[in-house]
A = this chain, B = another copy of it.
């Protein structure tokens, strides 16, 4: 048994390792307790279920993704089109890298998205909110055409599903994926209508 008091952060780190080793299907709360050398009950005191533990692990990863996105768009020298492009490419890269380099944690995220976990719906709400704010700013500055920023933000997220929705992960292994995402970004910015 460990000497230090057990905090939630320590449990989340252990759960992350257990998920990496056993995958989301097989990992159990007991595995996490064993890795920490504590009782099953000590883990349950912080996380009431396996689901709560999986959500805490993925929430921590998504917090990091949100920080990366916020950092990519915060430079005041960037125009709204630059910020929108930075947001999209940072969002895509975060998903593609996770799917490739940390497949068991990505599978955990994918399972939560399929189950409509609040962790994944909160992340979608964050993305919509960020895109809406940039579109709003771009319309005000005259970079973007007039329209409803909320609807436009939702359409941008929907039009890029192939590049960020976890169910598309197998397609992200294609060597064409970056070029394909650039094609869709270009379509979003310019449309096809002659001007």
Contacts and interface: CB of A to CB of B under 8 A. Distances in A.
A180 B192 contact: no
B193 A190 contact: yes
Contact of A191 (B158, B183, B190): B190
B184 A143 contact: no
B154 A180 contact: yes
A192 B154 contact: no
Interface stretch (A18-26, A61-69, A161-169): A161-169
Interface string A148-173: 00011011101111100101100000
A195 interface: yes
Interface in A109-126: none
**Which of A81, A135, A152, A184 gathers the greatest number of chain B CB atoms within 10 Å?**
A184
Q: How many copies make up the complex? A: 2
Given A161-B162, A184-B159, A194 B142 contact: yes
A143 B180 contact: no
Given A155-B180, A165-B162, A184-B158, A193 B194 contact: no
Contacts of A156: 187, 192
Nearest to A182: B155
At the interface, is chain A mostly helix, strand, loop or mixed? helix
Interface of A: 81, 135, 138, 142-145, 147, 151-152, 154-156, 158-162, 165, 167-168, 180, 183-184, 186-195
26 contacts: A81-B193, A144-B194, A145-B193, A145-B194, A145-B195, A151-B183, A154-B183, A155-B187, A156-B187, A158-B183, A159-B159, A159-B160, A159-B162, A159-B188, A161-B162, A161-B168, A162-B165, A187-B187, A187-B191, A188-B192, A189-B191, A189-B192, A189-B193, A190-B191, A191-B192, A195-B195
